[in-house]
């Protein structure tokens, strides 16, 4: 069983080089890990266990064909019976006699849960893959061997000349496109979390948008049987199935089956977790976009960040750096601060600002 989770082990490894930020990793690593584990868990449950088990009112039916029929052609519950005490008023939430005027709730989407989770994981990984292509290994080239705590061993004349030459040349052409591409990936992450909530709401017949609060509200109820259980509404554990056959005389016969769906015990918990996680991701993504816009438009924010990244850097030096570096060059330098010794970066900044005009404080 544990061998099924081997492909996602890479997402747990610590990256030797950081080319993104915390919110980006929440979308592209932690969310992909969460969705992949859930998809593998649901798939294993479908393939290894029995996703459905049905019993009928006729002794002439074997269990396997009935299970296959009800799984393929869906089961249903009766909306009128979603309220009530199981065992006294109803057999189970949604399971009871269906009249002609009753609203029938058919359940087909659970067949697609594992595929949807896998597609979601792929979609959340796409901005990361796109950024890795756009980044092109620039940070890896510039930060090579500069993360060592022993600055004297890494800050050689070769490294110093290489970085100074690169940034001096780049000042004429800038890295604005480089920075804007990262910004575009952050926008993709944000809209991806919103679109996933919208698509899941379509898949679950408009019930996902309020699924999380409804579940939390039900757990705090003193009399939960007086309300419709949202988990029983979306992922019922006990459902009905109708099988139509022809008798020996050619007349149509209808058989009722009562089906247990143990897989929905897992599904209902997965989608509660997904609701809260996607809401959290959307909020974190919105804050990340506000932060990025502030840094893009406000030089004072860039001054604060560069001083926070490199302890001991004077305000005057930071102001001279931000004043003479474009946003793209500043962003690339910010990327280096995540992967290089702060002492090395401080020396690099002093070397870069030697020829800059002083700024009045």
The residues, ordered by sequence, that sit 6+ positions from 51 with a Cβ below 8 Å of its Cβ are: 45, 71, 110, 261, 262, 263
For the chain, the average pLDDT equals 81
Secondary structure letter of residue 107 according to DSSP: E
Secondary structure letter of residue 102 according to DSSP: S
- Can you tell me the mean pLDDT for 30-42? 90
Examine the pLDDT at 63 and tell me if it is beyond 60: yes
pTM reported for the whole predicted model: 0.84
Taking the C-alpha atoms of residue 78 and residue 86, their distance in angstroms, rounded to an integer, is: 14
Examine the pLDDT at 361 and tell me if it is beyond 50: no
Q: Supply the pLDDT for residue 356.
A: 52
Q: 16 in helix, strand or coil?
A: coil
Examine the pLDDT at 360 and tell me if it is beyond 50: no
Tens digit of pLDDT for each residue in 124-153? 999 999 999 999 888 888 877 676 665 556
CA distances from 26 to 30, 130, 277 (A): 5, 16, 10
Q: Supply the pLDDT for residue 186.
A: 96
Q: Supply the pLDDT for residue 290.
A: 95
Beta bridge partners of 239: 259
Angle, helices 315-324/327-337, rounded to nearest 10 degrees? 130
Per mean pLDDT, which of 51-60, 142-151, 316-325 is the most reliable?
316-325
CB 18 within 8 A of CB 338: yes
Per mean pLDDT, which of 38-52, 161-175, 328-342 is the most reliable?
328-342
CA–CA–CA angle 190, 195, 197 (5° rounding): 105
Which among 110, 118, 129 is positioned nearest to 7, based on CA atoms? 118
Taking the C-alpha atoms of residue 36 and residue 52, their distance in angstroms, rounded to an integer, is: 23
Beta bridge partners of 235: none
- Can you tell me the mean pLDDT for 104-128? 88
CB 78 within 8 A of CB 94: yes
pLDDT above 70: percentage of residues in the chain: 84
Which residue, chain included where needed, has tokens 């990936």?
185
Residue 337 CA from chain centroid, whole number: 27
Which among 112, 116, 44, 120 is positioned nearest to 74, based on CA atoms? 112
């Amino acid at each position: 069983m544990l061998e099924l989770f081997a492909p996602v082990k890479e997402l747990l490894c610590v990256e030797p080089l950081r080319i993104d930020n915390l919110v980006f990793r929440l979308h592209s690593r932690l969310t992909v890990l969460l969705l992949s584990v859930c998809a593998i868990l649901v798939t294993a449950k479908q393939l290894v266990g029995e996703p459905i088990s049905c019993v009928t009112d006729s002794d002439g039916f074997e269990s396997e064909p009935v299970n296959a029929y009800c799984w393929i052609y869906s089961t249903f519950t009766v909306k009128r019976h979603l309220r009530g005490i199981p065992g006294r008023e109803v057999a189970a939430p949604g399971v009871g006699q269906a009249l002609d005027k009753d609203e029938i709730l058919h359940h087909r989407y659970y067949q697609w849960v594992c595929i949807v989770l896998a597609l979601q994981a792929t979609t959340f990984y796409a901005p990361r893959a796109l950024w890795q292509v756009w980044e092109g290994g620039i940070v890896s080239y510039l930060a090579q061997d500069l993360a060592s705590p022993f600055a004297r061993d890494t800050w050689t004349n070769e490294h110093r000349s290489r970085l100074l030459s690169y940034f001096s040349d780049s000042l004429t052409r800038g890295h604005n496109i480089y920075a804007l591409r990262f910004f575009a990936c952050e926008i993709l992450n944000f809209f991806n979390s919103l679109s996933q909530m919208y698509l899941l709401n379509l898949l679950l017949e408009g019930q996902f948008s309020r699924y999380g609060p409804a579940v939390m509200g039900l757990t705090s109820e003193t009399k939960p049987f007086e309300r419709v259980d949202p988990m029983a509404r979306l992922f019922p554990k006990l459902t009905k199935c109708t099988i139509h056959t022809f008798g020996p005389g050619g007349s149509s016969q209808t058989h009722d089956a009562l089906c247990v769906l143990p897989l929905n015990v897992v599904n209902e918990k997965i989608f509660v977790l997904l609701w809260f996680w996607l809401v959290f991701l959307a909020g974190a993504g919105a804050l990340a976009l506000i932060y990025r816009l502030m840094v893009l438009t406000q030089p004072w924010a860039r001054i604060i960040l560069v001083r926070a990244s490199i302890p001991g850097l004077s305000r005057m030096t930071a102001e001279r750096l931000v004043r003479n570096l474009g946003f793209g060059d500043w962003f690339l330098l910010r990327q280096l601060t995540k992967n290089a010794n702060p002492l090395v970066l401080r020396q690099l900044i002093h070397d870069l600002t030697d020829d800059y005009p002083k700024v009045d404080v």
